[in-house]
Amino acid sequence: MSMTLAATFDTRRQADMVVERLVQEYGVERTDIFVSAEGDANSAGETKAGADTAAGAPSEAERDDAALTGKISVSVDIDDDTVADEIRAAFSEFGARDVSEK
């Protein structure tokens, strides 16, 4: 049965991590995964993460120009519902919010 699973994430880093988990460990095709800002504006999420935060020395200073204008949405089209639980688990592992099935 064909379905789409979707979730939102507070940071772009969380969304990127779940995409990599789905592709590398569960064999989901990248063409079946869609990542976008939740709203109309460009967004890197709602919270600083990854390259936007300060790191140990020597490194660049913390950035203050991240587009923190809303959550990041990740949706996955699947034809085989046997991977649905694995996708939900990956969403959960990386802090998914508002998980839904369409």
Q: What tokens were used for 44? A: 């890197």
Q: Provide mean pLDDT across the span 8-37.
A: 93
pLDDT at residue 38, rounded to an integer: 82
Classify domain 3-49+68-101 at the CATH topology level: Alpha-Beta Plaits (3.30.70)
Cross-strand bridge partners of residue 78:
3
pLDDT at residue 3, rounded to an integer: 94
- Please report, in angstroms and rounded to a whole number, the separation of the first and last CA atoms in the chain: 12
Stronger pLDDT, 10 or 53, i.e. the higher one: 10
Note the pLDDT tens digit of each residue in 38-73: 876 655 555 655 545 555 555 566 555 554 556 889
The domain limits of the chain are 3-49+68-101
Stronger pLDDT, 70 or 3, i.e. the higher one: 3
